Structure formats: structure tokens, C-alpha cells
Structure 1
Amino acid sequence: MYGEENLFDAKVDGTEYEEYKPNNKHGWNEAMLQIKIAHIARVISDMDADIIALAEVENKVVLEKLNAALGAKAYPYLFYPNKKERVNIETALLSRFPIEKTATIAIKDQARGIHRITLKIENKRLDVYINHWPAQKEKEEERLLYATTLHNALLKEEGREYVLLGDFNSPYQVQKDWGMGFVNVLKTGDKSALFYNLWYDLPQDKRYSHSYGKQKATLDHIVIPKTLSDGKGIDYNPSSLTVFSRPYMLDEQGNPNRWQISNRGKGVHQGDGYSDHFPLTAIFHTVND
């Protein structure tokens, strides 16, 4: 899972964030796009994962450009949803396994949906649910909508193998009311919970993938049902969750070296940096029947 921070193309589509409108005072253009793609591709290439979920991609065209930049490590199977007109960015998936089918769970009064991608892995199937929930600054009621809708959808998945991942914009434990939807409604948590949040594999002081100033947070999550630890089909390798980082991805404080835009993100693209999120990786394996 990689929140690669606002991968926009260099064409005017009308839904760009102000700083990603091409060929204006912010300096976003095709040349700057190629630099950013090269930086994201470097991280993905070093991760070398079989499945990559991305959180902030403008369209399928720019996703294909990113995939092409991976060269010999390009992925044979790509997913990008049918994006609503008013949506700036959407989630996407790169896979080395065939995509059998896809579906989108619409959320009432919300722009982005939750996307289910069914992968064929050897002779087994895995449903990957990719999420990007409303940001922390939005009301918790909006994230509660996502949590309730996803929880109800998963009631139909009983006995199946699936993984929930993405930027849930929620902490792994409730902070005041922030995270109520993710923790209490979706029912994520430690191994006593309905769904196991892989953050609990790590010591508490290592549980973060995002930083803003001095604030560190667990906005990104990989969550599994009990069917991924039952010794059948596909299983999670215990304690394999990793917050992926390399020296080039760190700032001077050891936090994510985000893509640099001057004047607190309102100025000019600098052609430097990577993302304000570290990727999360986890290892799964197939079990011989």
C-alpha cells in the first residue's frame, strides 16, 4: 500500500488541485510530472511487491505512465475505477496476478467509492478492497458512512479470503471521536477484534506511516479477516508488516520526505521529494491444499 501523494497528469481536466493545474505559476508541467513519476517508480521498484495499491491517482492515463516507467518491473494488470466527474483523485491497483473482476461500492453522498478487485493467485482467489476515506479535517460522520457500508458489504464475504487496505484517514485506536468508524463500526483492532489490524504486529512507537509537522499518525492500514490466518487457501505471514523506507525517502528528522512545493505547498514545485506517506508492506503465502 502506497499513498504516493497526488499523481496528476499535465493536462487540464478541470478537477485538478490548484497547485497541479499545468503551466501556471506553480510550475506543474510535463517535465515536472516526469520527475515525480521517476521518484514514485523508484519507490515501487525498490518495494518489488506483487500487488501495489495506490491512493492518489488522477486518471488511468497517468497510472499507465507510471507503470511504463517501471520498465522491466512494469505490472501486467492494472485497475483504475470509473471516476466521478467531481473527484480529483482515486485509488488504483497494480498487480502481477490476473484481475478476474472488479466492483465498486458506492457511498451515499460521497465522491469516492470503495473498490473490490478479485485476483486469481495460483488456483485461489483474493478480494482486495482498496479504500480512501475522507480526510481527518472532515466530520467523523463521513467516515462512519464508509465504515458502515464496508461492514455491511463484508457480511456477504463470510468464509472468503480478502484484505482491506488503503488510506482510511483514521488512527488504529480511537482518539476522542476520530476513528470511531474504523475501529468500532468496522471492528478493527488486535487479534481479539473481528478484523486484525496489522499495525499490532509492530511496537507501539513504530506504528506510524504519515507525519505532518510533529504529528505522527497511522492513516494507512492493512486489515485482514480470520480466513487469512486459518492455515487454508491464502494466509498472512505473521509479523511481516513493514513500514517501507529507504534513506532517500527521509527528511532530516527521519520523517517522510514529501514532494516539495514551496511556501507550505502553495508555491512552486521543486522537483524534489517523494510522499508524505511511507508505504506499508506485508507478506502473504498460498497454502497447499
Structure 2
Amino acid sequence: MIRFCLLFLPLLLCALEFKVATYNVENLFDAKSDGNEYEEYIPNNKHGWSDAMLQIKITNIARVIADVNADIIALEEVENRAVLEKLNAALGSKAYPYTFYPNKKERVNIETALLSRFPIEKTSSLFMKDQARGIHRVTLKIDNKTLDVFINHWPAQKEKEDERLMYATTLHNFLIKEEKGKEYLLLGDFNSPYQVQKDWGMGLVNVLNAGDKNAFLYNLWYDLPQDQRYSHSYGKQKSTLDHILIPKTLSDGKGIDYIPSSLTVFKKPYMLDDKNDPKRWQISDRGRGVHQGEGFSDHFPITATFHTLAF
């Protein structure tokens, strides 16, 4: 996807174009038991999770990632580094040269990860008290420019909004203190809608201040018509759990900039169920039964394109 371009912008020259994506891969566990798995992913029990099922899951997810063809892709719900490396290897010639997987807290089942075509300079993590997953900062070198990528997977909708507020407050304070004037982006599964629904989404919108172009962070969902703003479905509910958020430094004509209106919800016919929603990984009996060996994820990937500027 990396492309050098000769497109002249007003007084500026684009040097390098690259694509960023985020994708919740829905419970990518390995086939080894270490005591932290969800019941249906304990290998070789009544649910039928096994090496063979894992290989099907990896093949399916790798197909999506290869088709997305992003230069930087954040992944959510990955059990460990070993299964991340299996997934990367399944990409064959499209495997990524640089990977990131965090040091998990004890007894945490799934975390986030990153695949990159750009070198990783350094990494760090923000951990919240009594919260399982961290927020992870991966610093990338892109065309001699530095970009901090913050990977998020906030607590699920069924949890109290107070937990997501904790993530939002921690992250907002860090951005104000450490990232002022820098080029960075936030992406991942925030388990929040792009607008507050009752109390749900207060952390994202009110605390992190993510919204339209007047907000502290621009939520790229606003680039799409309202009826196209969704990447996840559950029953009849379509929602924007996944987000890509950018500060004003990524639209200031310096260093690295977002290409306006490039946000895309990535979906191909093979990824759709009979309602044109994400064809999630199939487990019978509403997820309590047996793995069926088909499907992908209950999320669609979302992508956005950026470019570096020659000066």
C-alpha cells in the first residue's frame, strides 16, 4: 500500500502515502491451555476448539488482513505473541516486518497488537488500576518522521461506563501532558458510540473530547454519511465501537497529514452474513456450543489514509 506520489497540494508536495487500519479479530486464542481462556476456547473440550480450528480461524483472518493491505494495522482480541506471529506468518509474502505485542498483566485473556511496515522505534503502555488491558503507544518512523500510535481496547459495553471513563481520563491526561504539538493517532475498539447514547460514550466524547472537526480529537466517522457509520453489529444494533481519532497536528500541512474523506469501512462479500452484517466466527447455540469452522469476526476493519509531506 505504501506509495510515493507526485501529487501537488497547494504549496506542498506529498512524499509518501500510507494506509492505517484497526480490526477486532474476535477472540484469536491459540490452541494451548494456560488457564486464562474463555470457556469456549479451552482446547479439546466439548466446544471443539483445536489446532485445526485455530488454523481455519487464522487463515480466514489473514485473508481479510491481506485484502485490507494496510501499512499499519492495530488488532484487538489477540491472546499472545505466539498466535500473533502465526497470523503474521499466514500472510505469506504480505507478512509484516515489524510486530508489537504488549506485556500482559497476569490472568488477562486477550490484548491488542500491531503489525507494521514501518520500523518501531519504541513502545510504552498505560495501565489503569483494576483494569485488565492497557493502552499501548507504539512509536513508528515513517519517511524520517515520527508518529505515535495509541492502540486501544476499552471495557465492553456491558461494563459500567465508569470503567471506560477511567481509560478516557488516563489517556486524555497523558495526551495533554506528553503529546502536545506531536503527531499521533488513536485507534482501536473503544467499545463506545461516536455520539453519547444515554450515558454510553461519555468517556469517548465528553472526556477524551473526540467529535467533529471542532473537537480536541477529530473522529473520522464524521467523514462518512450517518447511515454508513458502523463497523459492528449485534442483533439489530449497528454501532461504531471501532474508531480512528486524530489531533489537529495531523491536518496542519506539516509532517504527516490525514487525507480527508479517506475513512473506509472495509467489507467484501465473503465477509458478510445473510443480512450484510459481519459474518462472525461461528459457534453454535448462540456462542455456547461447538465451533463450526467458518466465519471471520463480528467487526469490520476500518481504514484511513495518510501522507507525509516533503517539507
TM over 0.5: yes
Question: Within 2, Cα distance between the matches of 1:223 and 1:285?
Answer: 16
- Of all paired residues, the percent bearing the same amino acid is 79
- The equivalent residue for 1:54 is 75
Displacement of 1:106: 1.1
Q: Confirm whether residue 72 of structure 1 aligns to residue 93 of structure 2.
A: yes
Question: Within 1, Cα distance between the matches of 2:214 and 2:254?
Answer: 20
- The equivalent residue for 2:271 is 249
**DSSP-derived class of the 2:23 partner:** coil
Question: Within 1, Cα distance between the matches of 2:270 and 2:90?
Answer: 19
Displacement of 1:226: 0.2
Q: 1:186 aligns with which of 203, 208, 214?
A: 208
Question: Within 2, Cα distance between the matches of 1:248 and 1:214?
Answer: 21
Q: Confirm whether residue 235 of structure 1 aligns to residue 257 of structure 2.
A: yes
Amino acid at match of 1:98: P
Q: Confirm whether residue 25 of structure 1 aligns to residue 63 of structure 2.
A: no
- The equivalent residue for 2:222 is 200
- The equivalent residue for 2:240 is 218
**DSSP-derived class of the 1:265 partner:** coil
The 4+ residue runs of structure 1 with deviation greater than 3 A are none
**DSSP-derived class of the 1:149 partner:** helix
Aligned counterparts, 1:53-202, within 5 A: 53-155=74-176, 156-202=178-224
Question: Within 2, Cα distance between the matches of 1:106 and 1:6?
Answer: 21
Question: Within 2, Cα distance between the matches of 1:111 and 1:272?
Answer: 29
Question: Within 2, Cα distance between the matches of 1:46 and 1:179?
Answer: 31
Amino acid at match of 1:46: D
Higher strand proportion (structure 1 or 2) = 2
Listed one character per residue, the Cα deviations across residues 60-88 of structure 1 (whole Å, up to 9, x for unaligned) are 00000000000000000000000111211
Question: Within 2, Cα distance between the matches of 1:168 and 1:35?
Answer: 27
Compute the TM-score of the two structures, normalised by the length of structure 2. 0.92
Q: 1:45 aligns with which of 52, 66, 71?
A: 66
Question: Within 2, Cα distance between the matches of 1:283 and 1:122?
Answer: 15
Listed as ranges, the gaps of 5+ residues in structure 2 are 1-21
**DSSP-derived class of the 2:24 partner:** coil
Listed as ranges, the gaps of 5+ residues in structure 1 are none
- The equivalent residue for 2:289 is 267
The total of aligned residue pairs comes to 289
Amino acid at match of 1:261: I
Question: Within 1, Cα distance between the matches of 2:266 and 2:150?
Answer: 21
Q: 2:306 aligns with which of 281, 284, 289?
A: 284
Compute the TM-score of the two structures, normalised by the length of structure 1. 0.99
Aligned counterparts, 1:6-21, within 5 A: 6-21=27-42
